[in-house]
Amino acid sequence: MVGGIIVGAVLNVGIVFAGLRIGFTIVGSTVGAILGFGVLRGIMRKGTILEVNIFQTVASSVNTVNAGIIFTVPVLFLLGMQSQIDYGALILASVAGSLLGVVLIIPLRKQIIEYERLRFPTAVGVAQILKSPGAGKEKAQLLFISLVVSLGIMSLTYDWGLLAPMLPGNLDVGHVLRLPAGWSFTFAVSLLSLGAGYLAGRPGLVVLYGTLLNYWFLIPICIGLGWVPEGWADFNFWDNGEAAYGQAADFIGDFSYFTSRAVGIGMILGGAIAGLVIAGPAVKAAVSSLRSASLGGRQEEV
């Protein structure tokens, strides 16, 4: 349990940092299970599948609360209110949200797992890792190697890196291929997005689809129809010269900020409302079960 709390806290910091950079969160259950094998079976040379399961359950429970931060705090920055944040109140709100989630999940667990028998992909994946000790050990070694490689690349490409002037953080592939300036085609050297996509699996491709839709379709359409503020798109969209690329880079940055305030906040709000609507039947059934229990039924949820 102590190991799970420590690893969960470290995972929480890492996933919050990654989530704020890439825009979506990652479930830490699989990583917690792999690290559980690495710590208990690899380093301490003890522990059965039960101990590893407790380790990953505690670790994933500690770091799951980051979703509430990743999907809400950025709104304050999108609104330009970062200087007005009361961090003490923010911490209290985060703790209160975590406690409220624990209270709500107690009756929902029975409804979702025992009654509706939902099979969550992450839980299925963790079960496969736990049932295959050999695979867990190999994955722990792979995770450690990936950590070393990612740290090495980050130390070379970040602003404070040793080779930062020679190894930029982004590669402008579109410029090399002489694509039109309006079609931004850039690869990030950092392995953060690649690792997050690997952990997220196929659902993470939604971020890629949205990026392609935004930069290669929506922005050209908005420019062509004149839907951008005057003076922003003062470059030749089809030009592939140096000057056009510099002007396009400035425009894309401004346009992304301009659209993210409206579209980003709308998506966060719409996603929250949609989540409540989708979870409505399960919540209603869980509340009904609590009401029946209070009238003389089973009392453990109450």
Q: So what's the pLDDT on residue 86?
A: 92
Whole-angstrom distance, CA of residue 289 vs CA of residue 281? 12
Whole-angstrom distance, CA of residue 129 vs CA of residue 134? 9
**pLDDT-derived band of residue 92, with 50, 70 and 90 as boundaries?**
very high
Is residue 25 within 8 Å of 53, Cβ to Cβ? no
Per-residue pLDDT of 180-227, as tens digits, reads 887 777 777 667 777 777 767 777 787 778 778 877 787 778 777 877
Across the chain, what does the average pLDDT equal? Answer: 77
Highest mean pLDDT (candidates 61-70, 72-81, 89-98, 257-266)? 89-98
CA dist list (Å): 97 to 65, 172, 251: 8, 41, 38
Whole-angstrom distance, CA of residue 12 vs CA of residue 7? 8
214 CB contacts (<8 Å, ≥6 apart)? 256, 259
**pLDDT-derived band of residue 88, with 50, 70 and 90 as boundaries?**
very high
Cα-only R_g, the chain: 23
Per-residue pLDDT of 136-184, as tens digits, reads 677 778 878 888 888 887 777 666 656 666 666 677 888 888 888 877 7
> Percent of the chain scored above 90 by pLDDT?
2
Residue 274: pLDDT over 60: yes
Residue 271, Cβ neighbours under 10 Å: how many?
11
Is residue 51 within 8 Å of 227, Cβ to Cβ? no
C-alpha closest to that of 40 among 73, 1, 93, 90? 1
Q: So what's the pLDDT on residue 180?
A: 83
User: What is the sign of the dihedral through the CA atoms of 232, 226, 267 and 84?
Assistant: positive
Q: So what's the pLDDT on residue 84?
A: 92
Q: So what's the pLDDT on residue 149?
A: 86
More confident residue, 262 or 69: 69
Q: So what's the pLDDT on residue 81?
A: 86
Q: Per-residue pLDDT averaged across 240-261, rounded? A: 76
**Whole-prediction pTM:** 0.63
**CA 17, chain centre distance (Å):** 9
Q: How many helices (H) and strands (E) does the chain have?
A: 14, 2
Size of the chain, expressed as the number of residues it contains: 302
Is residue 64 within 8 Å of 126, Cβ to Cβ? no
Q: Per-residue pLDDT averaged across 99-123, rounded? A: 72
Q: So what's the pLDDT on residue 138?
A: 76
More confident residue, 11 or 42: 11
What the block records as the tokens of 92 is 């209290």
Whole-angstrom distance, CA of residue 142 vs CA of residue 242? 42
Whole-angstrom distance, CA of residue 251 vs CA of residue 184? 11
DSSP string, 236-293: -TT--SHHHHHHHHHHHHHHHHHHIIIIIHHHHHHHHHHHHHHHHHHHHHHHHHHHHH
Residue that has been written with the tokens 């140096």 in this structure: 242
Whole-angstrom distance, CA of residue 250 vs CA of residue 228? 14
Q: So what's the pLDDT on residue 228?
A: 76
Residue 55, Cβ neighbours under 10 Å: how many?
25
Q: Per-residue pLDDT averaged across 27-33, rounded? A: 80
Least confident of 9-23, 64-78, 150-164, 269-283: 150-164
Highest mean pLDDT (candidates 47-56, 111-120, 175-184)? 47-56
